[in-house]
Amino acid sequence: ALLAQPDKLIITSQLLDVRSGKLLADQAILLQQDRVHSIVPVAKLSTAEQTLPRTDLSGYTVMPGLIDMHVHLTSNPAEHGYRRLQQTPARQALFGVTAAAATLNAGFTTVRNLGAAGFADVDLRNAINDGDIAGPRMRVSGPSLCMTGGHCDNNLLPHIYQASAAGVANGADAIRAKVRSNMKYGADVIKFTATGGVLSRNTDVNASQYSLDEMQALVTEAHDRGAIVAAHAHGLQGIKRALQAGVDSIEHASFIDDDAIKLAKRQGTYLVMDVYVSDYILQQGEAAGILPESLAKERTVGQLQRQNFNKAVKAGVKMAYGTDAGVYTHGLNARQFSYLVQWGMTPLQAIQSATVNAASLLNWRNTQGQLNVGVLEAGAYADIIAVTGNPLQQIELLQNIAIVIKGGHMVKTPD
Ligand code: ARG
């Protein structure tokens, strides 16, 4: 389909095509409002195009803005465990304002926010879209769904307080209703917990949460509404059940085995494995209020998750980049890249996991069916980052993004 005429351009000397992994020399990115119009060699710009207002990114490696598929922008990493009980959804949304800015400045121009109390993520997304505050494009889940006492429930208080999280639903019908309600109040995606978790009180990471029947009802309902489904799962049985139910991604996937890896590969299910965060939890978690039982659980998860990540990479399973930022400091999302490489990915695979692959999992498209994010191609948002040096040779360079452009506007300039 034909877009209108370009109205500005970005000059590059080294542009990374994240699909092919090729570094292209001397390309011009032509923009039309907030989107990419086309990409042409600088030498082939027409006379009219040469007169357009331009931004010169020569000297940098230029690539699409990064995507983090698992964040909690409304979570303050200094307030874990019982401290979090003090945090109202309004306070969390206000915290999210700084978290969103830090994330965008780190070069992450899109995030998927997987779980927020009181739909604070919906309001944060809307405030960013309305231009009130700076932040990445957000695809949000609203409250995570789970069973009573599950990882997403509030399990900190005894029964006299009758505390229950908003996402709790039991049985296929109630789960369908909860999916519908989350969509009604603004969710783009559906998140549920298929096993216990590390950071929730009194849940077992190996214990499954929800029956296959419940998961199937959830997935069918979400897909009918056009929403992808992310399943939090550490334990093997919960991973397998979620795969069988047809979820779009398994989050954490800590205890995945060879059979489940094969099944994920055959179905094209993505794994989103947060292989950095364990270091943070074990080193700084206690000071942040993480419960001793959670620290003990983390000691059983972190290292095995990394080994299983390595197996899954070798098997060629689809992977998308997700960090669980919010458990740890916002804006440090890129710290995980070197862990991915250390545990078996090539730098290009790591970059693809945070760009084109993440975008394919999100499946967020414009009216022409083109990907909105994760690629620099006609029709995508002009979300662009510039790095000094070559991240294909030195992946850590992604921890220091010089320039961030969102929707064609420079939102971060070199320090
Ligand atoms: N939100 C996750 C949970 O509570 C964090 C797990 C972090 N640990 C890890 N090794 N990835 O279960």
Residue 123 Cβ < 6 Å to ligand 1? no
Say yes or no: 30 and 71 in one domain.
no
Residue 294 Cβ < 6 Å to ligand 1? no
Nearest of 238, 277, 229 to residue 114 by alpha carbon: 229
Say yes or no: 258 and 316 in one domain.
yes
Q: Is residue 347 part of a domain?
A: no
Residue 324 Cβ < 6 Å to ligand 1? yes
> What's the pLDDT at 362?
98
Nearest of 154, 94, 157, 152 to residue 124 by alpha carbon: 94
Model confidence pLDDT, tens digit, residues 159-191: 999 999 999 999 999 999 999 999 999 999 999
Residue 316's pLDDT band (boundaries 50, 70, 90)? very high
Q: Is residue 351 part of a domain?
A: no
Nearest of 223, 224, 219 to residue 246 by alpha carbon: 219
Model confidence pLDDT, tens digit, residues 191-231: 999 999 999 999 999 999 999 999 999 999 999 999 999 99
Please identify, among 342, 361, 390, the residue that sits at the C-terminal boundary of a domain.
Answer: 342
Q: Is residue 349 part of a domain?
A: no
Give the SS3 label for residue 90: helix
Atom 8 in ligand 1: which residue has the minimum CA distance? 278
Burial group, residue 399, by CB count within 10 angstroms (0-12, 13-18, 19+): middle
Q: How far is the CA of 136 from the centre of ligand 1 (A)?
A: 23
Atom 11 in ligand 1: which residue has the minimum CA distance? 274
> What's the pLDDT at 155?
98
Q: How do strand 384-387 and strand 270-272 relate by DSSP bridges? A: unpaired
Mean pLDDT taken over the chain: 97
Model confidence pLDDT, tens digit, residues 319-338: 999 999 999 999 999 999 99
Q: Is residue 17 part of a domain?
A: yes
Residue 277 Cβ < 6 Å to ligand 1? yes
Say yes or no: 13 and 130 in one domain.
no
Say yes or no: 243 and 153 in one domain.
yes
Sign of the Cα torsion 238, 243, 248, 251 reads positive
CA distance 80 to 157: 15
Residue 395 Cβ < 6 Å to ligand 1? no
Domain count, the chain: 2
pLDDT tops 80 at residue 2? no
The runs of H, that is alpha helices, within 118-257 are: 120-129, 172-184, 212-224, 236-245
Say yes or no: 36 and 82 in one domain.
no
> What's the pLDDT at 75?
98
Q: How many CB atoms lie within 10 A of CB 303?
A: 13
Pocket-testing residue among 70, 191, 277, ligand 1, by greatest number of atoms within 8 A of Cβ: 277
CA distance 334 to 65: 12
> What's the pLDDT at 183?
98
Q: Is residue 193 part of a domain?
A: yes
Q: Is residue 331 part of a domain?
A: yes
Say yes or no: 57 and 193 in one domain.
no
Whichever domain contains 90, its CATH number is 3.20.20.140
Say yes or no: 89 and 232 in one domain.
yes
Say yes or no: 18 and 114 in one domain.
no
Say yes or no: 217 and 321 in one domain.
yes
Domain that holds residue 38: 8-64+375-412
Residue 70 Cβ < 6 Å to ligand 1? no
- For residue 199, the ligand 1 atom closest to its alpha carbon is 4
Residue 274 Cβ < 6 Å to ligand 1? yes
Model confidence pLDDT, tens digit, residues 44-81: 999 999 999 999 999 999 999 999 999 999 999 999 99
> What's the pLDDT at 1?
44
Whichever domain contains 51, its CATH number is 2.30.40.10
Say yes or no: 117 and 216 in one domain.
yes
Atom 5 in ligand 1: which residue has the minimum CA distance? 198
Model confidence pLDDT, tens digit, residues 373-397: 999 999 999 999 999 999 999 999 9
* pTM across the whole model: 0.98
Residue 301 Cβ < 6 Å to ligand 1? yes
Q: Is residue 158 part of a domain?
A: yes
Residue 12 Cβ < 6 Å to ligand 1? no
Residue 4's pLDDT band (boundaries 50, 70, 90)? confident
Interface ipTM? 0.98
- For residue 274, the ligand 1 atom closest to its alpha carbon is 11
> What's the pLDDT at 3?
55
Say yes or no: 319 and 404 in one domain.
no
Please identify, among 317, 342, 367, the residue that sits at the C-terminal boundary of a domain.
Answer: 342
Say yes or no: 181 and 312 in one domain.
yes
69 touches 228 (CB < 8 A): no
Q: Is residue 147 part of a domain?
A: yes
| Integer-rounded Cα radius of gyration of the chain | 21
Model confidence pLDDT, tens digit, residues 351-372: 999 999 999 999 999 999 999 9
What percentage of the chain reaches a pLDDT higher than 90?
A: 99
Model confidence pLDDT, tens digit, residues 225-275: 999 999 999 999 999 999 999 999 999 999 999 999 999 999 999 999 999
